[in-house]
A and B are shown apart, each in its own frame.
Chain A
């Protein structure tokens, strides 16, 4: 998927500038503006500061009225629309479709996403990613082995018995 490629490219471009892109720096302020406008237009970004777009089919999960980051609730309507906003398609229905269309990162939809760190609201996701701030927790949420064990379940469950 093109967006996956853009994600990889952005990461590769920003990584060398990690020591300039520090939290609370002028560079972060600039990044915040860029993310607000760029991701705002493309993804209706809510600036949670801990972006998981590539793990959610390149659809922003924070647009779910319940802020769900691990999958759809049980209230999805039969036409695939939202329980809370009937006129809008369920964000997680779009995420599921987006993940199927994402060959590289699609399986990450199976990861257990930790609770949102609300102190990162309106900070730069890219800065937080480069410095590991977005994943920082005092407890082990999910090991890489557990993630690796879950991922294959995403694509291989529909065969006949």
Chain B
């Protein structure tokens, strides 16, 4: 099922070809300026095979993922449309999936989403009408059986490459590969993981994944990213849900003089990237460089991942 092309997605094409895939994500603006989106995408587009339009990650309000997709598809770029279950119910989500595909979106990332309590408006009403697996299954139903959840027909094709998230770095550890199996059964074709800073933990996860044969059914892109400073790492570790950073990495940043911490964070990222690349079953990386998007190019280059055949819409 992994090798059969299900969409017209360029990301899927890269993965099927066996090339090491790179995705990244765009820091969504707090503006109503399309140029902010284009500028941010331009920095990334030359170095990756897909850019995630994130759906208010951390439950902080920014320009919506749907609108970012609208702007990017307008200039001919194929983003990864991220849908979280936090803010919209099943009626809104199914309608948005149709609309996104109509605009030219070919990649969908289905996630549960951080709770509203993690964000800057904790008084908001959390929706969670779907969970991520129900969302995936519904998207697959819409694509493969061409019906809504109600059974009502969809009157056109819906070429979508379906993705999901995975976090191998939080408990219950032994459950995580099994949850991956469920996500694959629900329709996941590619996976982007949470930030990987703990290589031994990730190796153990992949061992179990291979044992179950899951690496042959799904493309796994490992989440990596540069830590900007010791302070930023500490914030991510304590305030952002689901991010685990081992003590050794924290110590390494702490011992580095402040003005060189960003450089050191980038070096750590490149080292991790090169290590996960060697693990059997890893199909690519997802580089998350929040507010330091300009580093993605350097990371890709210094990790020896150039030259690349990237989407060149601009």
Contact = CB atoms under 8 A, between A and B. Distances in A.
Interface of A: 65-78, 80, 83-84, 90, 92-93, 96-97, 109-110, 112-116, 118, 137-139, 141-142, 146, 150, 153-154, 157-159, 161
A137 B85 CA distance: 21
16 contacts: A66-B85, A66-B128, A69-B131, A70-B132, A75-B118, A76-B172, A78-B171, A83-B118, A110-B182, A112-B133, A139-B141, A139-B145, A150-B181, A153-B181, A158-B211, A161-B210
A21 to B, nearest CB: 28
A71 B179 contact: yes
Contact of A96 (B90, B114, B166, B175): B175
B207 interface: yes
B235 to A, nearest CB: 16
Given A69-B134, A70-B186, 20 more contacts: A65-B126, A66-B86, A66-B115, A66-B128, A67-B131, A71-B175, A72-B175, A74-B166, A78-B170, A92-B172, A97-B172, A109-B178, A110-B181, A112-B133, A113-B133, A115-B138, A138-B149, A153-B181, A154-B178, A161-B211
A139 B150 CA distance: 7
A141 B212 contact: no
Contacts, number: 132
B191 to A, nearest CB: 12
B273 to A, nearest CB: 20
A76 B170 contact: yes
A109 B185 CA distance: 13
Contacts of B178: 109-110, 153-154, 157
B186 A74 contact: no
B167 interface: yes
A161 to B, nearest CB: 6
Given A110-B181, A112-B182, A158-B208, A74 B134 contact: no
A112 B208 contact: no
B262 interface: no
B165 interface: yes
B172 A93 contact: yes
Interface of B: 85-86, 90, 112, 114-115, 117-118, 126, 128-134, 137-138, 141, 145, 147, 149-151, 165-167, 170-172, 174-175, 177-179, 181-182, 185-186, 194, 207-208, 210-212, 241-242, 244
A74 B180 CA distance: 12
